[in-house]
Amino acid sequence: QVQLVEAGGGLVQAGDSLRLSCAASGRTFSSYAMGWFRQAPGKEREFVAHITWSDGSTYYTDSVKGRFTVSKDNAKNTVYLQMNNVKPEDTGVYYCAADVGGYYETKYVYWGQGTQVTVSS
């Protein structure tokens, strides 16, 4: 089991910055990578960003490229999502998830409880 706890959400204005964190505990060695997802009211949950524990390789959904940065601290088993120049459409509950797949497969098994991000215009 891997336990994930997100933090850092809040109410911000458009154009502001926010940093989310996701602390992992438990069988963290079973996790190949970590992902960030979000779910806006009335919408499906969508992928935001992904980072591998080993080499820190990343990829993002197009709508956040150039604004969001995912990073990691292996010593703390923590990943971060730096959100810059946020927009109202970034509003939603942000979740981190542990990917136990591998290079050829993405398999998100463990999820955090989520943290609310609200961006006012």
Convert the pLDDT of each residue in 46-95 to its tens digit: 999 999 999 999 999 999 999 999 999 999 999 999 999 999 999 999 99
State residue 28's pLDDT score: 76
Q: What is the mean pLDDT of the chain?
A: 95
φ and ψ of 112, to 5 deg: -85, 180
Per-residue tokens: 74:
């292996």
Predicted pLDDT at 102? 84
Please report the DSSP string for 42-66 in residue order.
Answer: TS-EEEEEEEETTT--EEE-GGGTT
User: Rounded to the nearest 5°, which phi and psi values hold at 28?
Assistant: -65, -20
CB contact set of 35 (below 8 Å; sequence gap of 6+): 47, 48, 49, 50, 51, 96, 97, 99, 106, 108
CB 1 within 8 A of CB 62: no
